[in-house]
Amino acid sequence: QSVLTQPPSVSGAPGQRVTISCTGSSSNIGAGFNVHWYQQLPGSAPTLLIYANDNRPSGVPDRFSGSKSGASASLAITGLQAEDEADYYCQSYDTRLSGSEVFGGGTRLTVV
């Protein structure tokens, strides 16, 4: 049971837009802590996709965007491409248990 809740899977056709939600609570996202997103391609380590809610590292296409509102955050991917097929994870900080980094359970994106 992950502290942050993500849908297990989403899918979309090439060129479409998809969103992935990340729902937290008053001890993490709702407390004002930033949300970060990672992409994990099959067989690879995760890579940073969005940091501090809505910032893209250099090299990440602007098709990827992040937002945060209240105790939730979202990752949006526009102009879906086959290479976007991957697992996506959100991450934040939680004040419980002496404070710890927490992840969502992950969302598998399938490009159909």
Partner 1 sequence: QDLLAQSGAEVKKPGASVKVSCKASGDTFKTYGISWVRQAPGQGLEWMGWISGYNGNTHYAQKFQGRLTMTTDTSTSTAFMELRSLRSDDTAFYYCARCAGRTNWFDPWGQGTLVTVSS
Q: Which is nearer to partner 1, 19 or 103 (CB)?
A: 103
Least spacing, CB of residue 7 vs partner 1, in Å: 13
Cα distance between residue 106 and residue 33, in whole Å: 19
From 52, 51, 49, 47, select the one nearest 64 (Cα to Cα): 49
Q: What angle do CA 76, 77, 81 make, to 5 degrees?
A: 165
Cα distance between residue 111 and residue 24, in whole Å: 27
- Cα atoms in the Cβ-side hemisphere of radius 13 Å centred on 90: 36
Least spacing, CB of residue 28 vs partner 1, in Å: 10
Q: Which is nearer to partner 1, 11 or 95 (CB)?
A: 95
Q: Which is nearer to partner 1, 2 or 26 (CB)?
A: 2
Q: Which is nearer to partner 1, 13 or 45 (CB)?
A: 45
> Where do contacts with partner 1 occur on this chain (CB under 8 A)?
2, 33-34, 36, 38, 45-48, 51-52, 57, 89, 91, 93, 97-106
Cα distance between residue 5 and residue 80, in whole Å: 23
Least spacing, CB of residue 15 vs partner 1, in Å: 29
Least spacing, CB of residue 101 vs partner 1, in Å: 4
